[in-house]
Each structure stands twice: as C-alpha cells, then as structure tokens.
Amino acid sequence: MDIKTKIIATIGPACDNKNTLEAMLDAGVNAFRLNMSHGDDATKRKLYSLVRSLKLSDGQRPCILTDLAGPKIRITDVLPNFKLKVGQSITITNENDADENHIRVNSGIGFTDVFEGAQILINDGRIKLQVNDIISTYTLKCKTIIGGEIEPNKGVNFPGITLDAPVLTDQDKIDLRGALEMGADWIALSFVRSAKDMDNVLAIMDEAGVRRPIMAKIEKWEALKNIKDITTSFDAVMVARGDLGVEIPAEKVPLAQKQVIEVSATLGKPVVIATQMLESMVNSQTPTRAEVSDIANSIFDSVDAILLTGETAIGQYPVEVISTLNRVIQQTEKANDIKQTTLQAEVSKTADAISRAVCEITHDLDINVVMTMTHSGSTARMIARYRPLSKVYALTPFDHIMRQLQLVWGVTPIQVETYENMETVPDICKKVIEKFQLISKGNKFVITGGVPMGVPGTTNYVSVQTF
C-alpha cells in the first residue's frame, strides 16, 4: 500500500553505508537529511556522494535535505568527566579556557539581552542554571539549579531571551555553498526568528546561480510569534521539537505544533514534524504506544512528512524504524481515510480556484487520478494542500523538481519529456498512464497545469480526459 505522508531519515554513523541506505529506501524512505552540525567538509562531501549514488525504483536518486547547523550555542570545551552539583557556581563564557570554574561555549553569539535571574538550559533542559551576574557580553556567572555531567557539543538554550546571533554562521555559509554545489534539493535553515532570515540564504544562492526551496525550522520562541509571516515567505516549515521544547515549556509544544500545522495548511506550504518521533527505537526494536499515538495524531493533523533524527543516525535499528513508521502511517491513513482539507470560502487567486476545482471534480465524478503538469512543483503543491482522495501524479521534465516533490504529501513525481504547449499534454499523460497502468481503459482522469508554462503559481488550466 502506498503511503501519502512522506518519510525523511537522518544519515549518521548507524546508516552511512550504501547497503543500509538502500534497505531504508526499500522500507519507505523518501528523502535523506544531512545534518551539517557534525563532521568536517570531507565527511560531508562523502555523504553527498553516497546519497547521489543511490537509485529509486524510477531511476532517480532520493531527495537530499541539507540541514544547516545555525547559530546554536554549544559547549566547546569542558574538563573531562565534569559534573555540576546543585548550588555550585559556574561561569559560561567564550572568553576564557575551560577549568573547574569555567565552561567554554562557541564564539560569535552575544548575551546582550540576558538578565540576572535568567535561566540557562543545557542538554535539552537536563541541566539548569540561573544567571547571577553578567560579567560581560560574552561571560555569565551562574548558579546550578539542576546538576549533572557536562559534555562537549551539548546545546545551551536561553528560553524567552533574544540572543545577539547571526542568521548564518561562517560555517553555515561554507556548508550552504557546498550543498548547492553537491546537489542538495532542499535547504533547512535552523533557528529562524523572522521572515527576513530567508534573505541571507537567498543572497548566497543568487551568488551561486542556484535556487533551491528553503525550509524554516521552527525552534525559537520568536518564530512562533512570527509564524504566519515566516510560513508565507519560506517554501516549507519544520516543527523541530527538540530545541523548541527547551525554548518554550514542554507542555506548550503540542499546541505550538498544531498551530504551525494549521497555518501551513491555510497557506498551502508543506510542514514537517521532527524529533523524538520514535526515540525509544534508538535502542529497542519496538516503539512505545505513546510514540505511535504521537505519529498518528500528526497524520490526523495533516502533516506532509515525518523526520527521524537519532533513530536512524545513531540508533541500532535504522531499517526497522523506517519499517515501523511506514506501518504506522499506513494504518493511520487507512483508518483516517484522509479527509479533504476544508475548502476555502473565498479564493483570491486563479491558481487557488483551479486547485480547489480539481479536488471538487475528482470528488464529484469519482475520479482517482490527477495529472499535474509542473515545471516548478507549485501546481502539485497547491493540489496537495487540499488533501484530495485521488492520487496525484506530478509530471515534470526536471529531475530536481521530482526530488523536491518527494517531501510533499500525496504527490508521486514522474519525469516526462519536455513539452512546449498544452496541446501535447493529453498524449503525454496517456503514455504515463499506460506505462504505469494507473487506470483502466474508459476511466476518466484530470489534467491541470499553468500557461504560460514554467512560471510558478500560474495554474490556470484544468481538463477532464478519458483514457
């Protein structure tokens, strides 16, 4: 059974070989995430080459999602086996070397708006500090509220505080240029705070002469305040529940997730849910009931894709976890019968009206196949936003658009020959239907697309054809 909710898997030490990745593709993976937070340039390029060597059943390689590390504060230096005790004084700094009184963090991020009494959370909140004295913009004296072992590379969060941080670090700029060179299909921007953060990425893309869709990772409290503007500007959003669950109280994360999904659905943008989807399967071959329910509820809420992180990157069972997720998606979609998104009462754009009409036509005439002709992927995405019960096939001449659409709910991309006018489109569609045996002779199907061709958002054509 084909699933409509897409699966994204993070590559890491547990699966960074061709045999395992091929098995994960067979189990249901649509795209691979490359996490730029780890590894040197040579290691990252090796991963790109590895994914590019893989083939899907249609001969295309899977989609590559490059996840930029962003300006995350991490512990860079600490004494070996260093443990903080409750009540112990400790200094957080990037101005001094680590010793029994200092923990060093990465440079480039200032603590301008930090105040006495502010909380600092380390390692996703497992360790809690309170700021007692502000020594400088880059040095804070703290008291330990919740102790524990301090390890290098663990994240440091300042809930509710806007830090003096760049949108892109110097390493992010290097990684972004490398991603565009190595064939990334999507770029995920970490720690997005406002819509204008996208401009920094676009500037580098324009320098390189390559545009790729950009996904905003929602993991800062500021992003939730600006979620409508962010979703409008970016090509997709990701609810990154790890850092988000530290930036805001954990009990508020489910509501925030629903809020982001609702805004994304309204604006017709793909939305991805990430972090701790099947966390128990890092060390176990079976998920918890709570994890299964969490995934099911995400599907009921109409997410486009589910992203696995540590489960596949460092887990003991990377293939098994994909198979498990696939089964959960199958059963949930079957039970849900994938309801159509409530159609908008008012439509201001021709493309929206056509997309809505396509869904109405397929429902009223009991048509099971929609063929979207697309050069940019926009037509397929607009159709998918309404969650039609029919199958949606995106026909495009461009292999990079095929890969990008691997992240969009319910869309099956198929590469076709270049077409220059809509008069040739019905014959192209019929050839695809015959090749893949999509429907039987005498059955109807819908064609939709845009004229002039190649211009995103110009969907203005719909036709009902008989095979």
- Report the CATH number that the domain containing residue 303 is assigned in CATH: 3.20.20.60
Average the pLDDT over 227-240 and give the result.
Answer: 97
Last residue of a domain, one of 130, 157, 184: 157
Same domain, 171 and 151: no
Same domain, 62 and 77: no
Same domain, 243 and 113: no
Q: Which residue has the higher pLDDT, 347 or 191?
A: 191
Asked whether residue 455 carries a pLDDT value surpassing 70, the answer given is no
Same domain, 287 and 330: yes
HEC-encoded secondary structure of the chain: CCCCCEEEEECCCCCCCHHHHHHHHHHCCCEEEEECCCCCHHHHHHHHHHHHCCCCCCCCCCEEEEECCCCCEEEEECCCCEEECCCCEEEEECCCCCECCEEEECCCCECCCCCCCCEEEECCCCEEEEEEEEEECCEEEEEEEECEEECCCCEEECCCCCCECCCCCHHHHHHHHHHHHHCCCEEEECCCCCHHHHHHHHHHHHHHCCCCCEEEEECCHHHHHCHHHHHHHCCEEEEEHHHHHHHCCHHHHHHHHHHHHHHHHHHCCCEEEECCCCHHHHCCCCCCHHHHHHHHHHHHCCCCEEEECHHHHCCCCHHHHHHHHHHHHHHHHHHHCCCCCCCCCCCCCHHHHHHHHHHHHHHHCCCCEEEEECCCCHHHHHHHCCCCCCEEEEEECCHHHHHHHHHCCCEEEEECCCCCCHHHHHHHHHHHHHHHCCCCCCCEEEEEEECCCCCCCCEEEEEEEEC
Same domain, 57 and 84: no
Assign residue 98 the CATH number of its domain.
2.40.33.10
Residue 341 located in a structural domain: no
Please tell me the predicted confidence (pLDDT) of residue 107: 82
Residue 252 located in a structural domain: yes
Residue 87 lies in domain: 73-157
Residue 105 located in a structural domain: yes
Assign residue 387 the CATH number of its domain.
3.40.1380.20
Same domain, 177 and 326: yes
Same domain, 411 and 322: no
Please tell me the predicted confidence (pLDDT) of residue 1: 61
What is the value of pTM for the model shown?
A: 0.91
Asked whether residue 322 carries a pLDDT value surpassing 50, the answer given is yes
Same domain, 13 and 108: no
Judged by average pLDDT, the poorest of 8-12, 250-254, 448-452 is 448-452
Residue 342 located in a structural domain: no
Number of domains in the chain: 3
> Confidence band (pLDDT; 50, 70, 90) for 340?
very low
Same domain, 143 and 207: no
Percent residues over pLDDT 90 in the chain? 73
Same domain, 396 and 328: no
Last residue of a domain, one of 335, 359, 394: 335
pLDDT digits (tens, 9 = 90+) for 152-165: 888 899 998 988 88
Same domain, 20 and 59: yes
Asked whether residue 346 carries a pLDDT value surpassing 50, the answer given is no
**Average confidence score pLDDT of the chain:** 91
> Confidence band (pLDDT; 50, 70, 90) for 271?
very high
> Confidence band (pLDDT; 50, 70, 90) for 91?
very high
pLDDT digits (tens, 9 = 90+) for 39-83: 899 999 999 999 999 998 888 899 999 999 998 888 999 999 999
Q: Which residue has the higher pLDDT, 266 or 325?
A: 325
Same domain, 314 and 385: no
Residue 162 located in a structural domain: no
